[in-house]
Amino acid sequence: MRILAINDNIEEGLIESSGGMSIRHRLPKVSFFAMLGFMEGGNFEQGTIELGYSGGYEAIDFWDLNNRVQQEAKALKKAAAAKKIPPGTYDLVAGPEISGIVAHESAGHPSEADRILGREMAQAGESFIKKEDRGMRVGSDIVNLVDDPTIEHSFGFYKYDRDGVPARKRYLYKKGLVNEFLHNRESAGRMGEKSNGASRSSEWDKEPLVRMSTTYIEPGEYTLEEMMEDVKNGIYMRSFTEWNIDDIRFNEKYVGREAYLIKNGEIFEQIKRPVIETTTVKFYSSIDAVGKDLQFSAGTCGKGDPMQGVDVWMGGPHIRLRDVYVR
């Protein structure tokens, strides 16, 4: 099974205020979506590829689509024939696709100030973080979670938010501690702070809400080979096929799509759908190595009533976690 789609659009806007502000923008975007499925011996596996780019059709060369789609198809074919491993405690090396979804769901969303204030509780949900929780430890001291709309060509790129506030890089978790919330002017005013430029809306007639842009785990110092060589009995989860997280973004689950057993620092064999069930604090606290590489995938993040979908990037490097229960 194969579904391939490419889309483009040009976003134009004008933000004016009674204070004399006038900002005009024009932003072209291109996106690619693939859904692939493969049946082997009665077992079915499927996967998706989601890519986004702020700019023009030079994105096609940047993405190297032919190679990406072929690589995903080969991995799915092997995954359909792979076998489950026995449940137990393993070291885990997780790829950038895992880093990205974890960063988006368990750092980006709980750092949205409107969730923290309870404004979104009947819609998008709440947050395990409270407004007095700055400085609370949620991970090991090598964990830095960033949301940055200023990265050129990122799918969440913008220079000014919908309130006219200049965009900037925000450290949501810094050295494993809760550091900064995402704000629009309303939430910042309610907390006695200044907005950090996180106000976004999907269309001109929708309310600007506190939203993410490009959310990722900041790179560290390790190569993938260095992470692998120190793993005696572990799992390399390169991508995911399913994820779930609760309304306060604390209890979470990730199911591997392309995954391998690691024995004595070497990739041993492909395995079928390893499942991690953990909490946000356990996940980030288990990280003992962060890779140098940094990769992103695209998505559409939904929030609000009426529902608004905005373009986002999510990503990170390879990361290594110790003593994770996998089934």
Mean pLDDT taken over the chain: 96
pLDDT tens string 84-101: 999 999 999 999 999 999
Other Cβ atoms closer than 10 A to 117 = 19
Residue 183 has pLDDT above 90, yes or no: yes
Q: What is the pLDDT of residues 129-176, one digit of tens each?
A: 999 999 999 999 999 999 999 999 999 999 999 999 999 999 999 999
For 303: left if phi > 0, alpha if psi spans -120 to 50, otherwise beta; the answer is beta
Instruction: Write down how long the chain is.
Output: 327
pLDDT category, 123, cuts 50, 70, 90? confident
For the cut 90, the answer to whether the pLDDT of residue 260 exceeds it is yes
Q: Is the pLDDT of residue 43 over 90?
A: no
pLDDT of residue 40: 79
Q: What percent of the chain has pLDDT over 70?
A: 100
Pairing of strands 177-178, 170-174: antiparallel
Structure tokens at 46: 């499927």
pLDDT at 124 over 90: no
For the stretch 221-250, pLDDT in tens is 999 999 999 999 999 999 999 999 999 999
Categorize the per-residue pLDDT at 41 as very low, low, confident or very high, splitting at 50, 70 and 90: confident
> Is 90 exceeded by the pLDDT of residue 185?
yes
Q: Quote the pLDDT of residue 42.
A: 85
Give the Cα-Cα-Cα angle 223, 225, 229 (nearest 5 degrees): 125
Site of tokens 């600007």: 208
Q: Are strands 251-256 and 275-279 parallel, antiparallel or unpaired?
A: antiparallel
Closest CA to 34 of 76, 65, 79: 65
Rounded to an integer, what distance in angstroms lies between the CA atom of residue 18 and that of residue 296?
38
| 170: helix, strand or coil | strand
pLDDT at 121: 84
Q: Is the pLDDT of residue 50 over 90?
A: yes
pLDDT at residue 119 is higher than 90: no
- Residue 279, pLDDT > 90, answer yes
Tokens of 35: 């859904």
Q: What is the pLDDT of residue 187?
A: 97
Q: In the chain, what are the domain boundaries? A: 83-326
> 251 exposed, middle or buried (CB, 10 Å; 0-12, 13-18, 19+)?
middle
Residue 205's contacts (CB-CB under 8 Å, 6 or more residues apart) are none
CB 260 within 8 A of CB 236: yes
Beta bridge partners of 263: 233, 266
Per-residue pLDDT at 317: 98
Rounded to two decimals, what is the model's pTM? 0.95
Is the pLDDT score of 320 beyond 90? Answer: yes
Pairing of strands 240-245, 145-147: unpaired
Question: In the 8-state DSSP scheme, what is residue 101?
Answer: H
Summarize the confidence of residues 296-304 as an average pLDDT. Answer: 95
Q: Is the pLDDT of residue 120 over 90?
A: no
> Using CB atoms within 10 A of its CB, is residue 278 exposed (0-12), middle (13-18) or buried (19+)?
buried
Q: For the chain, what is the largest distance between any 2 Cα atoms, rounded to a whole number of angstroms?
A: 66
